[in-house]
C-alpha cells in the first residue's frame, strides 16, 4: 500500500512539474534545432523496415506541430518542403501530404516552385489521383494567376477516375473568365468542403473573405452609392454557394467581410 502511495505521489509530482515546464515561455519558442531528430530522406526508408506507415504518421504529426507552432509565432516555414518530402518517401500514397503540403509550401513558405515540385512527385507516385492535378490547377489559378496552366491541370484532373464534375467546370472557367474572383471563391469553397484539415478550412475562410472584401471595396470606390447598392443587391446572390456564412459590414468608407460564426 505504501509503495502504491509513493507511485501515486511521484506521478502527481511529475505531472505538475511537466505542466509548469510547459507553461514556461521557452516552451513556446522552440530552439532552432527543433528538427534535429527529424530523419533525412536518404536512408529513412531502409531504416523504417516494417514500420514505414507508422513512422510516416509520426512525422506527419511532427509536421503539423511544426506548422502550427510557426503559424502562431514567426510565420517562418523554411523546412516545410523537406518535411513533406521525407514523409512521401516513406509512404508514396499519402494523398493529404501532397495536397496539404503543396498548398502550405506555396502559400506559407512562399515557394510555389517547391509546392508544385511536391505535387509533381505526387502525380508520379499516384497517377490515378484527380486531387493532385486539381490542386496544381488551383495553385496556378489563385496564387500564380497562370490561367492557361490552370486550365490544363483542371482538364487533366477531369480525365482521372472518380474526378468530380467541378474539374471540368473550373477548366472551362479558367479558359473563359480569366481569373474572376467568383471562380477563385468557388475554388476555395471546393477546398473547404472537400477537406477535413482545419488549417485548409481556415485558409479557405480567410481567402474567401479577403476576396469578397477586396472586390466590394474596389467596386465601391469606382461607383456612386446608389449604383453600388444596386450592384451589391445583385452580387450578394452570387455568394449563395458559400459553405459558411459571411457578414458584410460598412465601416466608415470601407467594407469589412468576416466569417459569420
Partner 1 sequence: MNKLFAIAGTVYKESLRSKVIISLIIIAVLIIFASLFMSPIALGETERIVKDIGLSSISFFSLLIVLLSGTRLVYQETEKKTIYMIITKPISRARILWGKYLGLLSVIFTIGIITGLFLLFVVIIAKCGLNWNLPLSILFIFLQFVLLSAIAIFFSTFTSPVMSGIFTIMTYIIGFLIKDMAFFIEKTDIIFLKWIIKGIMLIVPNFYYTDIKLQAIHSINISFPYIIFVICYSLIYSLFFMYISTLIFEAKEF
Find the shortest distance in angstroms from Cβ 85 to partner 1: 18
**Residue 65 binds to partner 1 (criterion: CB under 8 A):** yes
- Residue among 13 and 51 whose Cβ is closer to partner 1: 51
Find the shortest distance in angstroms from Cβ 229 to partner 1: 41
- For the window 99-118, what string marks contact with partner 1 as x by the rule CB under 8 A? -x------------------
Find the shortest distance in angstroms from Cβ 99 to partner 1: 10
Cell of 94: 499519402
**Residue 60 binds to partner 1 (criterion: CB under 8 A):** yes
Cβ distance 127 to 93 under 8 Å? no
**Residue 34 binds to partner 1 (criterion: CB under 8 A):** no
Cβ distance 129 to 160 under 8 Å? yes
Distances in whole angstroms, Cα of residue 219 to Cα of each of 28, 54, 125, 162, 246: 43, 52, 45, 39, 18
**Residue 42 binds to partner 1 (criterion: CB under 8 A):** no
DSSP string of 116-135?
Answer: HHHHHHHHHH-TT-SHHHHH
Q: Nearest 5°: CA angle at 230, between 227 and 231?
A: 85
Find the shortest distance in angstroms from Cβ 167 to partner 1: 21
- For the window 190-229, what string marks contact with partner 1 as x by the rule CB under 8 A? -----xxxxx------------------------------
- Residue among 26 and 196 whose Cβ is closer to partner 1: 196
Find the shortest distance in angstroms from Cβ 57 to partner 1: 5
Query: What is the number of other CB atoms lying within 10 angstroms of the CB of residue 127?
Result: 10
Q: Applying CB under 8 A, which of residues 11, 13, 28, 51 lies at the interface with partner 1?
A: 51
Exposure b/e, 90-122, CB count within 10 A at least 16 = b: bbbebeebbbbbbbbbbbbbebbebbbebbebb
Tell me 143's DSSP state.
Answer: T
Cell of 233: 443587391
- Residue among 91 and 215 whose Cβ is closer to partner 1: 91
Stretch that binds partner 1, among 60-68, 111-119, 138-146, 243-251 (CB under 8 A): 60-68
- For the window 229-248, what string marks contact with partner 1 as x by the rule CB under 8 A? --------------------
Stretch that binds partner 1, among 3-11, 70-78, 86-94, 157-165 (CB under 8 A): 86-94
Phi-psi domain of 178 (left: phi exceeds 0; alpha: psi -120 through 50; beta: other): left
- Residue among 182 and 194 whose Cβ is closer to partner 1: 194
Cβ distance 256 to 249 under 8 Å? yes
Q: What is the CA radius of gyration of the chain?
A: 23
The Cα–Cα gap between 193 and 113 comes to: 26
Binding site for partner 1 (CB under 8 A): 46, 49-54, 56-57, 60-61, 64-65, 91, 93-94, 96, 100, 195-199
Amino acid at each position: 500500500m505504501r509503495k502504491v502511495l509513493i507511485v501515486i505521489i511521484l506521478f502527481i509530482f511529475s505531472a505538475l512539474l511537466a505542466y509548469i515546464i510547459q507553461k514556461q515561455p521557452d516552451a513556446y519558442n522552440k530552439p532552432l534545432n527543433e528538427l534535429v531528430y527529424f530523419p533525412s530522406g536518404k536512408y529513412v526508408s531502409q531504416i523504417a523496415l516494417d514500420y514505414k506507415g507508422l513512422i510516416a504518421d509520426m512525422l506527419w504529426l511532427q509536421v503539423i506541430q511544426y506548422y502550427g507552432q510557426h503559424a502562431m509565432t514567426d510565420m517562418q516555414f523554411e523546412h516545410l518542403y523537406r518535411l513533406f518530402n521525407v514523409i512521401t518517401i516513406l509512404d508514396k500514397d499519402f494523398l493529404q501530404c501532397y495536397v496539404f503540403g503543396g498548398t502550405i509550401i506555396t502559400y506559407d513558405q512562399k515557394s510555389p516552385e517547391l509546392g508544385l515540385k511536391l505535387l509533381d512527385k505526387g502525380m508520379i507516385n499516384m497517377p490515378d489521383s484527380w486531387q493532385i492535378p486539381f490542386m496544381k490547377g488551383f495553385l496556378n489559378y489563385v496564387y500564380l494567376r497562370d490561367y492557361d496552366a490552370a486550365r490544363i491541370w483542371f482538364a487533366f484532373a477531369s480525365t482521372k477516375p472518380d474526378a468530380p464534375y467541378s474539374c471540368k467546370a473550373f477548366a472551362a472557367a479558367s479558359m473563359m473568365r480569366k481569373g474572376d474572383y467568383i471562380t477563385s471563391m468557388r475554388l476555395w469553397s471546393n477546398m473547404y468542403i472537400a477537406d477535413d484539415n482545419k488549417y485548409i478550412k481556415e485558409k479557405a475562410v480567410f481567402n474567401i473573405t479577403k476576396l469578397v472584401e477586396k472586390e466590394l471595396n474596389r467596386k465601391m470606390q469606382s461607383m456612386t452609392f446608389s449604383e453600388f447598392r444596386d450592384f451589391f443587391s445583385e452580387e450578394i446572390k452570387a455568394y449563395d454557394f458559400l459553405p459558411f456564412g459571411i457578414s458584410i459590414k460598412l465601416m466608415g468608407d470601407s467594407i469589412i467581410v468576416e466569417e459569420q460564426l
